Amino acid sequence: MRTRDLLRADLVRFRYLTGLTPSSGLKLWAGLLFPRMLPVLLVRLSSFSAGARLAPLSQAISALNCAVFGIEVALRCRIGPGLYLPHTHGTVIGAVEIGANVSIYQGVTLGARGLDATFAPSHRPTIGDEVLIGAGAVVLGGVRVGNGATVGANAVVLADVPDGGLAIGVPARIVDRNDVGSAPS
């Protein structure tokens, strides 16, 4: 997808999730100025610059995003449309790939289990489509978080999460969504 198309999808999803009236044209693009959209814009611009072989510009944009919004995103991470970052401080995204319509809350870490200066895909997570990753969650290593999965707040995921799965706890375990919040018997 072109950067413009990715940004449009990000904006449309942002407006939908925040309850703002969906619009098109100039009003839609003005949405880039919302504080919760600016980090996404910078992620997209950094990625575009890297793809255009403008490494110094890409790194400068990425450093600006880190300094202002507290989010660090690996330049090699492929991110699908509809990215939503409601809060960014303390977030590190070092995944191989992030699918479409993914929401990532503050303090999340997606990365390798150990030092991985080569950015080896086998050492980094892959995030599917329609995934929600709660505040403070950690997803480490060459694991896959399946489509429609949820990673609960502060969970530490070290193994694959199936499609539609709910991972909670330290270390994370997969639980039935119907059992969450029910009183123990």
**Residue 151, SS3?**
strand
Catalytic residue among 13, 15, 44, 87: 87
State residue 167 phi and psi, 5-degree precision: -105, 125
Contact 1, 79 (CB under 8 A): no
How many helices (DSSP H) and strands (DSSP E) are in the chain? 4, 14
Q: What single letter denotes the amino acid at residue 88?
A: T
Question: Residue 87 catalytic?
Answer: yes
What residues does 84 pair with on adjacent strands? 103
CA gap 90, 107 in Å, rounded: 4
pLDDT in tens, the chain (185 residues): 898 899 889 988 888 887 766 555 556 566 667 778 889 999 999 999 998 999 999 999 999 999 999 999 998 899 999 999 988 899 999 999 999 999 999 999 999 988 877 788 889 999 999 999 999 999 999 999 999 999 999 999 999 999 999 999 999 999 987 776 654 54
**pTM to 2 decimal places:** 0.88
Domains and CATH numbers, the chain: 3-176 (2.160.10.10)
Non-local CB neighbours of 185 within 8 Å, separated by 6+ positions: none
What residues does 92 pair with on adjacent strands? 72, 109
Contact 155, 170 (CB under 8 A): yes
18 to 11, 22, 86, 164, 165: CA distances (angstroms)? 10, 10, 9, 23, 25
